[in-house]
């Protein structure tokens, strides 16, 4: 695959609400930043946690409570639909997002823009409408919602070993660079140097690194352009 530099590799998992926040921020920034290639790359947050020895935010109740408050604030500030999911802690003990992420890998191979729309629909389900993204019937609803025709075929293809391997490879790429959470953002500058960032709240530093305009939420951009 040939790619242009500078490049932002945005590693995400649809189980992660901060991956959703970073995704929507980057979707806005890609219209405001010039000459920067952006790739959205599925990985497995559960394995990142395991490999790094980190613990999920829900493992510490005060951290979880603060995270829910912070998510609401962030959603309001950025004007994105994000509502803490009351079932999340129960679901996370029972399910993994691996099958959903493998479906995204199939779509990424065929049509990256369709993959991005499907990822957004998955985030809306878990983190806006408190709906599952783990089982066959969930995948059918998700793909119907984004207008995919060959749903059965996509689900069957996602079970091929190569997608499990691809998910592991993407995850390992990050854990070898000390990843311990999501989103994990790997920025390659024009000199070929790699710079890792953790979180959806590091785009001001990435802007500085790449000499791009500072990020602002869409509503603030709109206000600015009216001045």
Residue, CB closest to ligand GSH: 181
Distance, in Å, from the CA atom of 127 to the CA atom of 111, rounded to the nearest integer, reads 24
Q: Which of 10, 18, 43, 197 binds ligand GSH (CB under 6 A)?
A: 18
Residue closer to ligand GSH (CB basis): 178 or 190: 178
Q: How many residues comprise the chain?
A: 227
Q: Which of 25, 157, 175, 200 binds ligand GSH (CB under 6 A)?
A: 200
What's the min distance (Å) between Cβ of 116 and ligand GSH? 18
Report how many residues bind ligand GSH under the rule CB under 6 A: 11
Residue closer to ligand GSH (CB basis): 41 or 106: 41
Q: Which of 8, 9, 17, 40 binds ligand GSH (CB under 6 A)?
A: 17
What's the min distance (Å) between Cβ of 190 and ligand GSH? 26
Q: Does 201 bind ligand GSH (CB under 6 A)?
A: yes
Residue closer to ligand GSH (CB basis): 24 or 99: 24
What's the min distance (Å) between Cβ of 52 and ligand GSH? 8
Q: Which of 16, 47, 98, 175 binds ligand GSH (CB under 6 A)?
A: 16
Which residues are identified as catalytic? 16
User: For binding to ligand GSH (CB under 6 A), which residues are involved?
Assistant: 16-18, 54, 57, 180-182, 199-201
């Amino acid at each position: 695959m040939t790619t242009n530099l500078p490049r932002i590799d945005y590693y995400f998992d649809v189980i992660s609400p901060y991956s959703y926040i970073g995704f929507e921020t980057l979707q806005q920034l890609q219209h405001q930043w010039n000459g920067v290639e952006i790739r959205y790359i599925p990985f497995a947050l559960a394995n990142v946690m395991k490999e790094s020895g980190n613990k999920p935010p829900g493992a510490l109740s005060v951290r979880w409570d603060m995270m829910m408050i912070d998510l609401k604030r962030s959603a309001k500030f950025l004007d994105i639909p994000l509502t803490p999911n009351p079932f999340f802690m129960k679901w996370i003990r029972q399910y993994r997002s691996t099958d959903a992420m493998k479906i995204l890998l199939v779509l990424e191979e065929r049509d990256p823009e369709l993959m991005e729309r499907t990822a957004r629909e998955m985030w809306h389900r878990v983190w806006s409408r408190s709906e599952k993204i783990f089982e066959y019937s969930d995948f059918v609803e998700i793909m119907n919602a984004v207008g995919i025709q060959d749903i059965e075929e996509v689900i069957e293809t996602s079970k091929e070993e190569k997608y499990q391997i691809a998910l592991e490879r993407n995850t390992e790429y990050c854990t070898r660079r000390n990843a311990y959470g999501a989103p994990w953002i790997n920025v390659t500058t024009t000199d070929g140097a790699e710079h890792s960032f953790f979180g959806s709240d590091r785009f001001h530093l990435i802007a500085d690194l790449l000499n791009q305009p500072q990020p602002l939420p869409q509503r603030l951009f709109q206000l600015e352009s009216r001045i």
